[in-house]
A and B are shown apart, each in its own frame.
Chain A
Amino acid sequence: MKEFKILAVIIALVGITYYGIEPYAHSVMHPAVAPADFTFQDVKNVDTSLVGNEANGKVLVEANCIACHAIEKAGHPAVMPNADSAASYGVVPPDLSHAGRIYDKNYLANFIFDPVTAMHLQSKYNPENGKAFPMPSYNWMSPQDIMDVVAYLQSIAPKVADDKAGHKITFEAACGRCHNMQYAGIEATTPVDNLKTYMGATPPDLSQYIKSRGEHYLHSFINDPQILLKGTSMPRVGLTEKAQEEVIAYMEEVGDSKKAERESLGIWVMLYSAVFALLAYLWKRKIWEEVH
């Protein structure tokens, strides 16, 4: 009985201390932020309830987009090698093959209308500092035309499997133009020197971000980087919730590749310890019977 009391005191003291220096201290150092918003309702220049016409969208895309963007899946290869396009635009323009799948519809439409506002990068690109984002605003296009473009992009985007290979495709489409992922052998498609000029700093390698930032942080951060890192030059990329989950899943598959092994082995080792403790208890009882 007395031993249980001692144990209770120790557990209480250790528990209080643990609570203070772990969950509590972290909540002070990293205050909670507004929940991620996957509807992107703050940008509403385009009426996204309009039903898009894929055929007209195709015509518009071919007239307006493929001068800069590749769309491999629709038979439009890159206009020039990555190094050259990075030199011309500052960053390699994305291949739009997956755009219709990974970007939220509302975000995508409003991005075409006014990229800088959609990305929350007004502090980086504004008339005062004279910097302009490489892609022009299509605010002269009618909302119907914009929705046609969106509909077309959605129609050509291939589905991907819900496995590591599929997650990789999403990751590369969403993050791969700027970020390296050394542990997966992924190198940013934009050469590092261009990136540094374009972003103001080299975007970090993401190999261990699942550990250093954790899933919870990434969930808010990718959705809207400005909330957690005011002034960062990383854009809000506008991923759908599903695409973002695939990106994070890939970061975990690369950065914490032994998770499944760890968790299944863990149960067995704990069970083994429990059996060990039980046998030790029986042995101890037998031995101490003689002396008590």
Chain B
Amino acid sequence: MAEFKKADSMLEWFDQRLGVINFAKVMMSEYWIPKNINFLWAMGVLLTVLFTFLVVSGIFLLMYYKPDANMAFDSVNYTIMQEVAYGWLFRHIHAVGASVVFLIIYIHMFTGIYYGSYKKGREMIWISGMLLFMLFSAEGFSGYMLPWGQMSYWAAYVITEIFGGIPFIGDELVVWIRGNFYVADATLTRFFMLHVLLIPLAIIGAIVFHFYALRFPHVNNEQGEFFDFDKESEKYLAGDKKHSKVIPFWPVFLSKDIFVLGVFLIFFFYLVFFHYGFAMDPINFDKANGLKTPAHIYPEWYFLWSYEVLRGWFFEIAGISGKDLGLMAFGFANIIFLVLPWLDRSPMVKPANQRPYFKYWFWLMIADLMVLTEFGKLPPTGPNAWVGFGASLVFLVLFIALPFITKAEAKKVKGK
């Protein structure tokens, strides 16, 4: 063992044992971020904070929630919402937070797409990010079931039913997932386990991985500029802070993020206290009833676009049923963002608006997702069904065309 001299300060005492000074340097004060960024680069920190809110409020909810088909509804709507001091506050933070986290995830994702932050060395950041997206989706879905209201029940019914479309094993798979032939107590208890244990653990792991993946390629910047981080950081440390292209994570980068967080929190708490209906659907304040189908069943807003890709296919084409076509399209939609780094064949790392072809693709994709989201909620009748079909088709075409569009772009800009 190394020889220890008596520490002169508490910091030194800890440093001798844990190397905290060096650790803080590596993680904070000498972790370099480009200076040329805007508030969109604060979304990652907002997500980290929101996830913390979800964990903390979730722990409080867990103290009174009862994962039992006969007790769940009242434990949430009576015990937590009305009896426990500030139980309602934790529930509102949790429900609104779970919805808003997706809003920020989407902004974060589309920022990444807009600035091309998923390629030329940043592929693993993207992949780990998509992994987080999938885990959050599973977390949102399993959590929505827990209050055991009508929408909890029927959304769970419809979504688990989707797996029945998988060839050969579909029917058995649905029973295996539900733990019963229909959505029942066994379904609730297993999704409870997933929601409070397995998925959160996986999310924490994935967040650590995501942060690690950021380390080597470094965070992108507003112009997609590549530069020598070592040189720029030396400049910064030598005192030429104004000309250096980088800033340290602490305190410079975080000071901005914390300000953005402050503004965001005003909005967030407005939703929590005064405008939470979008995250706590009225229909879910009716107790689950397996014999009474609600007039309109729809998933939470953040699943609407992919739900509409599934629903858009309502008629048979070339002997394949609409249902199967929808399933295939749905499967496609759920993995296609994952492989985005390889669909974009253009080497340009620039904001989309500075890319000759990609800019059209990007804004079309955003518009299409908005149309899908809207029609995913509206009843799929009459012309709505056709708009849904059209938007779903456009979605597939956009992603199939992306390699060709970006290849052409690469040629046009001569590989720059």
The chain A residues found within 8 Å of chain B, CB to CB, are 2-3, 6-7, 10, 13-14, 16-18, 20-22, 25, 28-29, 182-183, 204, 207-209, 211-214, 257-258, 261-263, 265-266, 269-270, 273-274, 276-281, 283-284, 287-288, 290-292
* Cβ–Cβ < 8 Å partners of B88 in chain A: 258, 261-262
Main secondary structure of the interface of B (DSSP, over half): helix
Using known A-B contacts A29-B379, A265-B273, A287-B252, determine if residue A3 contacts B77 with beta carbons closer than 8 Å. Answer: no
Taken together as a complex, chains A and B put the C-alpha atoms of A141 and B82 apart, in Å, by 50
Q: A28 and B283: CB pair below 8 A?
A: no
* Cβ–Cβ < 8 Å partners of B242 in chain A: 290-292
* Cβ–Cβ < 8 Å partners of A279 in chain B: 262
Q: B266 and A266: CB pair below 8 A?
A: no
Taken together as a complex, chains A and B put the C-alpha atoms of A211 and B259 apart, in Å, by 35
Q: Which of A182, A257, A265 contacts B89 (CB 8 A)?
A: A265
Indicate if B54 sits at the interface (CB-CB under 8 A): no
Q: How large is the interface on B (under 10, 10 to 19, 20 to 34, 35 or more residues)?
A: 35 or more
A to B contact number (C-beta, < 8 Å): 128
Q: A273 and B377: CB pair below 8 A?
A: no
Q: B286 and A183: CB pair below 8 A?
A: no
Q: B247 and A21: CB pair below 8 A?
A: no
Q: What is the minimal beta-carbon distance from B177 to any residue of chain A, in angstroms?
A: 27
Q: B377 and A25: CB pair below 8 A?
A: yes
Mark contacts of B46-79 with chain A using CB atoms, 8 A cut-off: 1 yes-contact digit, 0 otherwise.
0000000000000000000000000000100110
Q: A211 and B370: CB pair below 8 A?
A: no
* Cβ–Cβ < 8 Å partners of A25 in chain B: 374, 377-378
Q: B82 and A291: CB pair below 8 A?
A: no
Using known A-B contacts A212-B282, A262-B273, determine if residue A20 contacts B103 with beta carbons closer than 8 Å. Answer: no
For the A-B complex with A213-B282, A277-B263 known, give 4 more contacts whose Cβ atoms are closer than 8 Å.
A22-B277, A270-B269, A284-B256, A287-B251
Q: B82 and A183: CB pair below 8 A?
A: yes
* Cβ–Cβ < 8 Å partners of A288 in chain B: 252, 255-256
Q: A277 and B377: CB pair below 8 A?
A: no
With both beta carbons as reference points, the residue of chain A lying nearest to B369 in the complex is identified as A17
Using known A-B contacts A258-B82, A262-B88, determine if residue A280 contacts B373 with beta carbons closer than 8 Å. Answer: no
Taken together as a complex, chains A and B put the C-alpha atoms of A166 and B88 apart, in Å, by 26
Q: What is the minimal beta-carbon distance from A98 to any residue of chain B, in angstroms?
A: 27
Indicate if B107 sits at the interface (CB-CB under 8 A): yes
